[in-house]
Amino acid sequence: MNLLQEVFFTFFLAVIVYFIFEWITRDRVNKIINKIPGPIRVPIIGTTYRLFLFPKEELFKRAKVHLRNYGPIIRTWLGSTPVVHLLEPKDIELILNNSVQITKSSMYDSVRPWLGDGLLTSTGKKWFTHRKLITPTFHFTILENFMEIFVEKSKLLVTNLQNKTITEVFDLYPHITNCTLDIICETAMGIQINAMSDPNNEYVKNVSHITKETVDRLMKPWLHPDFIYYKTNQGKRYKKYLSNLHDFTTKVIKERKEKLITKSKTDQTNESNSSEPDVIGGKVRKAFLDLLLESPINLTDMELREEVDTFMFEGHDTTTAGICWSLFLLGNHPDIQEEVFREITTVFEESNDGETLTINDLGKLKLLERCVKEALRLFPSVPTIGRKLTNDVKLEKYLLPAECTINLQIFLVHHDEKIYPHPEKFDPDRFLPHNIKNRHPYAYIPFSAGPRNCIGQKFAMYEEKTILAYILKHYKVTAIESQETVKPMMELILRPKNGLLVKLESRKS
The CA–CA distances, whole Å, from 182 to 127, 377, 443 equal 27, 26, 33
- How many other CB atoms are there within 10 angstroms of residue 16's CB atom? 10
Q: Is residue 280 very low, low, confident or very high in pLDDT (cuts 50, 70, 90)?
A: very low
**What is the average per-residue pLDDT within 40-50?**
75
Q: Is residue 84 very low, low, confident or very high in pLDDT (cuts 50, 70, 90)?
A: very high
The DSSP bridge partners found for residue 109 are none
Which amino acid, residue 380?
P
Helix 124-134 crosses helix 301-332 at what angle (to 10 degrees)? 70
Confidence (pLDDT) at 68: 78
Q: Is residue 4 very low, low, confident or very high in pLDDT (cuts 50, 70, 90)?
A: low
Tell whether the model's pLDDT for residue 269 goes beyond 60. no
pLDDT 10s digits, 474-504:
999 999 999 999 999 888 899 999 999 999 9
Confidence (pLDDT) at 25: 54
If you average pLDDT over every residue of the chain, what do you get? Answer: 87
Which amino acid, residue 84?
V
Confidence (pLDDT) at 222: 83
Stretch among 49-63, 72-86, 381-395, 396-410 having the lowest mean pLDDT: 49-63
* CATH 1.10.630.10 for domain 87-109+120-506: yes
DSSP string, 297-350: S---HHHHHHHHHHHHHHHHHHHHHHHHHHHHHHHH-HHHHHHHHHHHHHHHHH
Spell out the alpha helix ranges (H) of 69-201: 89-96, 112-115, 124-134, 140-160, 173-188
Instruction: To the nearest 10°, report the CA torsion of 347, 350, 352, 358.
Output: -30
CB within 8 A of 122, min separation 6: which ones? 130, 306
- Angstrom distance (rounded) from CA 99 to CA 300: 26
pLDDT 10s digits, 124-176:
999 999 999 998 888 888 888 899 999 999 999 999 998 876 668 999 999 99
Which amino acid, residue 230?
Y
**What is the average per-residue pLDDT within 241-256?**
94
> What percent of the chain clears pLDDT 90, i.e. is strictly above it?
63
**What is the average per-residue pLDDT within 77-93?**
90
DSSP 421: S
Which amino acid, residue 320?
T
Confidence (pLDDT) at 505: 92
Confidence (pLDDT) at 281: 41
| For the chain, domain boundaries | 1-86, 87-109+120-506
Q: Which helix (H) or strand (E) holds 78?
A: strand 73-78
Q: Is residue 231 very low, low, confident or very high in pLDDT (cuts 50, 70, 90)?
A: very high
**Residue 171, SS3?**
strand
